[in-house]
Every structure is written in structure tokens, then in C-alpha cells.
Chain A
Amino acid sequence: MSTMDSDKVNNIAHLARINIDATKLPEYANSLSNILHLVQQMDSLDTEGVTPMAHPLDVMQPLRSDAITEKDFSAALRKFAPRLEADLFLVPQVIE
């Protein structure tokens, strides 16, 4: 299968929205390649016909009744919001 190079790391890091310094890309490429190498041991096993298991529990989703249980939470926001004005969270301008 595949190994990592700096370009790939750069693309994934963009997808994950993490800045990675160009000088550190080779180091990441190396450690991620090692992890992939470990992971690729999976290829030794034939899994034809096996149903993937998403969850250890083979049970169904419980349902909640459609009743309001949450109260106005906005006072709490002011305590932890990095930037709030007029009760709106602010981010650098979004261009649609």
C-alpha cells in the first residue's frame, strides 16, 4: 500500500486544518509512514465476506421523546467564548 511523503502530509494537514511547518514535514512523513507500515499488517488476513463491525454493541439506537429539556444556555457562552459580540461568536470574515 502506501507510504507518506511531505506532499501527502501537507494535503492531509490541510484537510485536518493543522498548520505544519515545512521543516517538520519530513519528520511527520517518517512517523506516519511507520504507523501505516504497522497498520498494513492487516493485509495479511483475508477478510472476504466478513461484515464490518462499527460498534461492539449489537443493539439499536434508542429514541428520545420530542420534549424541550434544555434551557437558554447563552449566559454560559459568555464564560468560555474566545470572541463574542452581541451574543454572536465572531470569526474572521467568511466569504461564501
Chain B
Amino acid sequence: MLHTYSLAELSQGLEKGDFTSVALTQHYLERIKQHQEMLNCYISVCEESALAQAAAADTTRARGAATPLTGIPIAQKDLLCTAGVKTSCGSKMLDNFIAPYDAAVIERCNAAGMVMLGKTNMDEFAMGSSNENSFHGPVMNPWDIERVPGGSSGGSAAAVAARLTPCATGTDTGGSIRQPAALTGITGLKPTYGRISRYGLIAYASSLDQAGPMTQTAEDAALLLNILAGHDPRDSTCMSNPVPDYQATLNQSIKGLTIGIPEEYFTAELNSQIGDTLQVAIKELQKLGANIKPIRLPNTHLGVPVYYVIAPAEASSNLSRYDGVRYGYRCENPKDLLDLYKRTRAEGFGEEVKRRILIGTYVLSAGYYDAYYIKAQKIRRLIRNDFIEAFKEVDVILGPTSPTTAFKLGEKTTDPISMYLSDIYTINVNLAGLPGLSLPAGFVDGLPVGMQLIGKDFDEATLLKVAHQYQQVSHWHREIPNMFKGAK
């Protein structure tokens, strides 16, 4: 039952010699073969290179040069560039693109001796909250394959939830790690903006994008963040703040810690059963000694409107480079230059991506810039100020991750706005640049419920500590969907 082990347990098992990395990798590759067709969570599976990496990891360990994560498999979101392995970003536009470089995240995993099982499915260019916008087709939620896993890191979330990888990376621009983590019952952390290098991460909205770990437990997230966090001179926005040992503080008590509960996160938009579930979890945290304090984040409701100006504006510019000239998809027989551009981009991008490029182009265009873009940037500051004010009185903010549990495939595809509102509780965290973590807090009708913790700038350690302490007294993160429990 290797796939039920957390990273910490796998690390110990490898160290004790209970199993090898090759055996572990083979186990996961078999599980992928068995379940990939049903879930569609991988875009690429790297069997050969994974086994080679695993063998190398075993050698490293035999030499006594292993790190805690050496030999542990990982699945990488398909918008992290990987030298020699296709990086499609869930798009037809890049379906033939093999980057000549590794993203910083990939480099760091490689340096730690981790084994890349494959690249995970995602909403095209990370635009979506259900993983239905992928060129490679939708991903199914392991808890109910008629439902979505959330998005955009839906492939990573489903793969971890179904134990088709012990851990994965995601990226989060408006909730793309936390919302799918919530909908699939796993732990997902979006670190502070600037905590992890964006080098080699294919940009959606550069001032919001941040990669992070998607794991079974908070402890696993801490182990992964330990290797992912840190300065990179190739990303001007990657900060050099010291990286603490996130594992070291997990077992500290949360006694006396103040957790703020924003009034605006528990309103009519929230599924009442999710609200009730979170109340139970809050009581658990109180039992662990935390103080609970109601707070206000008055501009919460403007997060989604602000986001749908800033993110598409940046995206419209970030995605201009996909023009069929230097790499990626190019339309057949362009009759002239304009035709090359227009047809390449019409054929290479999916509907949602086009929609966001158009909105972004519009809000930046002459005559609209101030009314939309500048206005959004001003409110963005007010949203951040709300958090800064709140953090004068509390250490952590707690709320739901998503207003609903996993919804049915196709349920929201015809109404983009209803899809956008899936992210009402996560988006503001990106706008403010703060760290946010989602962890499993229970089930409603057999579907996982996510609880979100929001922290101060660069205070991932406190989020991980609170989550870990909660996971010591709860079992939700240990639940595996029936179909994927496995006999072995």
C-alpha cells in the first residue's frame, strides 16, 4: 500500500530500505496505467525517464547522499517547462512545444533527487476553475467521476487525490491550487508572491502567478516547500527572504494563536453545509487552544471584478508571444502575415483563453485604461489594506476555499460568470500577494470540503503549523476515494 504513504512516511521507508525508489516509481506508474484513462489527469507520463531518475536516486541514497525527498515521485503541472518533455500548458498552441530549459521548480525537484512521473492536465494556460478548458480534455474528480476536480491545477489535484502520485506541483493565479485541492480533498499551498521562482513557469497573469505544493498532508507540503522556496536571480520578482525549515515548526502548539473569521466569507453565497462543516473544524482548532476572532474584510466582494480586469489584462499581453512565428502551433498555408497571426491564434487557443485575451485587450485599450485597469489597481490596494489591517489583530485568517463542493462536469461551462464565482474566496489572496493554504475539513454528501487558511506575507510556516496541528486531530486528509484505494 505504498500509495497510501505520505511523503514523510515514504522518506522514512526509503531511508530504512523498506523499498527502493525504483519499486516505488514502478508502483505509481502501474497505478497511472490503471486509472489514467478514467481520470485523464496526466498529459504526459514519463515512464522511461522516471525509472532512470529512480535508479539514480537509489544510487545516490546508497552513497549516503540522499536528501529527504530523494527518490520520491512527483507529478508536475504542464505549465512548468521541462527540458526534453513536452510542455503544452493544456493548449493546442504548445502541444508540440518542448522547452530547451527546466523551470526553476523543476530544477529544484531534480536537484533534490525527486522522480518526475509526468506532466499533469490543466485548464488551458491556467484559465479555468474546473479543468474543462484543457485541449487534452477534462479531468474527472476521483470522488465522483461525473464531477470536476476544480482548476486550473485539476490534473495535479486529481492525481494526488487518487494516489496516482504522492505529491504534485500546481500554480495558483486566482485559486488554481487551493480550489482544486478543496474539491479533491487534498492539501494545497499557494505561497506568498515571490516565495518561489516563476522562472520557466508559463505566465498567465505575472503579478498573481505563484507555484506551490499539492500534497496529502500539510507536513508533505512543508517538505516540498522546503525545496521549492528561495531566491532565483532569473526572476526579478522572486524574493531573497530567508527560507525557514517549514517542517521544524509543524509540531509547535497553536495555543494562543488568534484565528480571524471574516464575516464576508460566511454569507449566502456559501453552501450552508460547507459553512456548518467549517464551524466544526473551527471548534477543533479552539480545542487546540486557538483564539477565534470575527473580523471584517470589507472589500471582499470586489475581488472577482478586480481580478477579471487585472488577470486578463496581463494575460492578453503575456499570450501575444504565441503567434506561430518562432515556436508552437502555426496555421496551415497562411496567405499573408495578418492571416498567419489571426488564424494561428484563432485555431491554437481555446474559447476561454480567447475570451480572456479579448477582455484584457479591451480593458487596456485607449479610452478604457483608467476606468478599468487603474481602477482595478486602486481597489487591489484597498483589498490588500483590508488584510493588513486584519493581520494587526490576528495571526491567521480562516474561511472556506470554495463556495461549493465539486460540481458536475458541464454544469458551469455555458456560464463563465458562475465559473468565475467559484474563486470568490481565493482570488483576493492572490491580489494581495499573501500565502493561502487549503486543507480537507470534512465531507458534504460524500464530497470533500476545503478549509482555507490565509497568512501574513512570507508566513507560510504558521499556515503549515495550523494545518498540521489540525491534521493531527482529524482524518479527512487520510481519506482515499473507494475506487482508488487499491488492493496492494
Contacts and interface: CB of A to CB of B under 8 A. Distances in A.
Given A42-B375, A47-B379, A52-B374, A32 B239 contact: no
Contacts of B354: 18, 20
A62 B326 CA distance: 29
B302 A17 contact: no
Given A16-B357, A56-B193, A35 B308 contact: yes
A82 B324 contact: yes
Contacts of B309: 39, 42
Nearest to A53: B381
Given A12-B365, A16-B345, A53-B378, A34 B416 contact: yes
B100 A55 contact: no
Contacts of A38: 304-305, 308, 417, 420
B445 interface: no
A69 to B, nearest CB: 10
B207 A16 contact: no
A20 B98 CA distance: 29
Contacts of B467: none
| Interface bracket on B | 35 or more
B425 interface: no
Interface of B: 96-98, 100, 193-194, 207, 233, 236-237, 239, 299, 301-302, 304-306, 308-309, 316, 320, 323-330, 334-343, 345-346, 349, 354-355, 357-359, 361-363, 365, 368, 371-372, 374-382, 384, 416-417, 420, 431-434
Interface of A: 1-2, 4, 8-9, 12-20, 28, 31-32, 34-36, 38-45, 47, 50-57, 59, 61-62, 64, 73, 76-77, 79-83, 89, 91-94
30 contacts: A1-B371, A2-B368, A17-B342, A17-B345, A18-B357, A19-B342, A28-B358, A35-B416, A38-B304, A38-B417, A41-B305, A42-B302, A42-B372, A43-B375, A45-B299, A45-B382, A47-B378, A47-B379, A50-B378, A52-B374, A52-B380, A53-B381, A55-B237, A59-B239, A61-B236, A79-B100, A80-B97, A82-B325, A92-B336, A93-B337
